[in-house]
Chains A and B, each alone.
Chain A
């Protein structure tokens, strides 16, 4: 009966709100997905933070700082949305540290040159945008509202990255090589951000029925590839996929096979930077503990002073 009412709300495009009844599996699925999304925003600050002190100009530095600050904000919007499901932020962070919660594997790749800032903004934020635009229509109200806010802020992220790539691609031969190298390294991990193929993705069923997800991994991936190919052509860079070819019948690009062994390897903690990313997060969290304690002591003191 309750379940029927719930499904009817979903089918008629009404949002589910925190106080509404929901199946336990729906709640669980959302906590897993939203927290993974929040952790990705937060861990995602590290590869870019790596270049803030070495940005090639003041303009570039201010832009990168603003972008990284936005990502912190995205993490917070998402933690807030997740907390409405009855889990505390402290517990969410604990799950990240205990490796019970995951974050997007893309952030386990190193950022070796300044061109990587271009590739990340253009491709990684570009892929995230495709996913997030789709999630604006997710059935859970707080998640949907967080996505709407995030999408408004994302478009500058992708544009600043593409601008870096375009500038470098028309710069010196060394700069162009650097840009192409960044594209070569980030292309496959970026298209793997959409997750396993639909045929390999056991959780898609309920997620679609409950409208947590509105499009499948493969649909989102295709949409990203279709949008990006032309952008690479315009700036004279080559996407590292020999099988990439326009399919007139499908009206989409065909593309090559992804290296799923590498994908699962990185998901399971063996990517180039998994250990470093998590260790850094733990260290920052631990080193901030005295600040949190002091702030609470100060708040207590003030409260007793006014009472």
Chain B
């Protein structure tokens, strides 16, 4: 069945004709063209596809787009604003929380939700909140540091301009 999906995506209202059997992940990547959200596994095991629905982390690879009529969806593309990195993005950038980077969008989204609810999480709380996300590169130590750093930046209200490629 085809229907029109009215949805709020990264603060913008949209209406797209979609099929009932379209996954939110494929809607974002194929229909809208936001490829920041990654497909990492067979379904449900890696967290690379994490997005926020009404502010709560969900796996977009197991979510049907047609069930999100009038809901609010945020992807990694919505994290920064006006060409500035969000505190979480800056945390990952400055503390080397990303290596190959494939898992990073999922971690950034999950960490963003965490820091909204809990501005000063302990390491255990960070680990617990990122428990649905898998990283094959970093060994997680740098990711925990990145989120801790992000919490400190957030508390100071710091944002950063996106670094141009090549300018360290």
Q: Is B a genuine binding partner of A?
A: no
